[in-house]
Structure 1
Amino acid sequence: MSTTDARRPAATTTGLRGRVARHPLTAFLVLVLAAGWPLMSVPALTAHGALPGGALPQEPFALATTLLVMLPAALWVTAVADGRPAVGTLLRRAVRWRFGPGWWATVLLALPLLTLALGVAAGRDLLTGDLLATLASGVLSVVVAVLLVHLWEETVWAGFFQGRLEGRHGFLPAAVLTAVPFALVHLPLVLIDDLAAGQVALSVGALLLLGVMVRLLVGATVRGAAGSLLAAGLVHATFNASNNEGNLVDDLLGGGQPSLPAVAAAALVTAGALLAIRGRR
C-alpha cells in the first residue's frame, strides 16, 4: 500500500520530517504500533501471568492508546505532512454538528432500534421491566464513550487515515485498507482469552471482517454527514452499544449477546447510507 500523500506541502523537506511528509500513513503506523501495541498488550500479559498483578481490565489501556498514542501521532503527522492549519481543520471536523436531521437520526437511533427489531423478529424477548433506568444508563454510556474514546478514535481513523486513502483510492478500497491497521491495533485484545492457534485465527478473522464492516459504516456516515467526525464517533458508539455484551441493546434483548442482529443491522444501515450518498465525494 502506497502511503505517499499528494496533499503534503510543496516545499521539499529533508531528514525525518521529510520522510514523514512523503509517507504520512507509514509514519503513523510505525508510531502507533511501536508505542500502542505495548500498552494494548498489558491486559493480555497480566491475564496469562507474563506480568505480575493479576488480570487487568482492557478499557484503560485502550483509552490510553487512543489519547496518548494514536491521536497525538495523527495530529503530528498531519502537521508535518500538510502544515499546522490542517490540524485545525481536522479538529474542527471533530466538533462539526451541522448535518441533516436524517443523519442525526441515523447515527443516534438506527443501529440500536434496528438491532432490537431484528432480535425480536428472530424470537428473542424484549426486556422492558426497568426500561427508563436501562435507557438512561445506556444513553449515559454512549455519551461517555463518544467523549472519551470514539470521537478521538474516529478523528484518527476516519478523519486522518481513511480520509487520506479515500482521496487517493476511492471509498471501498479505503475502507478495506483501513480495516487492516484498525484490526492490527486491536489485535492484542484478542490474546487476552484463549491462546489456542485455531481460536486465535478465528478471532483475528472475525476482527478483520468486523473492521471492514465498521469502516464501511463509518465512511458512509462521514460522507452523508457533511464530513463530520462527530457523526463518525456517534455511529461507532451506537454500533458498540448495539453489539457488545453488557451494553444498551444487550440489556434490552434477551437471548445472549446480540452480535448477529447487530451485524445484520449494521449491514442494512450501511447499505441504506450508501444508497443515500451515491455519487457524493
Structure 2
Amino acid sequence: MLEMSKQTTQDTTVLVDEILHSIFFLGKINKPPISPERILGDRTDEVRALYPEPFKRCSSQLPRRSPFSCVLDMFVHLIGHKKEEDIKRALQVLISYLRKDTESKCLFSFTICISQAARDSVRYYGVSMSTSGREAGRIMVAASCCSAWDEYVAGAVMTYFPNKHKNMDIDGTIRLPENVRCEAFSLSDGRKMPPCRSCVTLFSLPMNNTGNTNINPNADIGKHAYGNCAEVESLSNLFKSNRRVKQRARPASESWTEMDKDKKKKDVLTHLRSLLNIVSFRWDTKFYSPQRARETN
C-alpha cells in the first residue's frame, strides 16, 4: 500500500492511513495482541512520521471497514474501474504472495464482487470481510453497519444481525432491480460464484441465470454469516453513487421506518459494545476518520 500510493496520480494516502489503523486495531484485539511495532518492524519510525494518527487511535477508535477493502480501493485507483480482469488478477497475485508466509495471519479476502447499474456503466467493487477470529469479524460487520455501508444495505444486514434470525417486527431486506449487475468471483481461482443463501435473503439476488430466487434446500450453495460477503460492500458502493438505483431497491416492507432503523441501530451498537468488552477494548464511541499523510522534510 505504501509503494502503490506513490504510483497513483491521485492522493491515496488516506487509504494507507486507513489500512494502518484497521490492521493496528485488529492486532490490538488479537489474542495475544500484536503491536504496530511488531507489524511494521524496522519501518515503524518511518511510517509513524508519515501516519501518526493510526498509532494514536488504534487503542480507542474503531475502523469503519476491514483492511482488504482499502487494498481493493487502491488497486481501482491504480488500474481504473473499467479494467475488471486486471484488478482481479492483481488481487490474485497479491493474495498468492501473502499466502506463502504461512506463519503470519493474512487479512486477505476470498471473494470480490462487481456491481453495475447497467452494461458499460461504472463498476463498483467490493470484497468479503478480511479479519481473523470470530469476534473480530462480528465487530467489523457491526462497525460497518453503523458507519460505512449505505443505509439500505446496512438495514438489510441488520435485519438478521447479530442473531442470524430475522426480526419479525423489522424488515429492512431489499430487492435488487432487474438488469442491475451483482456478480461475485473467487480470488483463489477466478471462477464465478453464485450468491450464498444469506445474500439471496438480503438482496433477492438470482441464484442462477434464469433469475429464479426460490431457494432449493438441497442446492449446493453456502450460507455465510450476514454482512461478510463481497456483495454487501459492492452494492453499498453502487447505492452511494447511483441514487436512482438505490431508490428502486428501497425496502418494500412497511416495518422499516426511521424509528425502526434507529431502534435496530441501537441494538447493533449495544451488541458491538458487548463484543468489545469480550476483547477488552475501551472504545471512545468514535469511528476512525482517515487522514492524509503528514509532510516530512
Same fold (TM over 0.5): no
**Larger relative strand fraction:** 2
> Which has more helix, going by share of residues?
1
Task: Output the TM-score relative to the length of structure 1.
Answer: 0.32
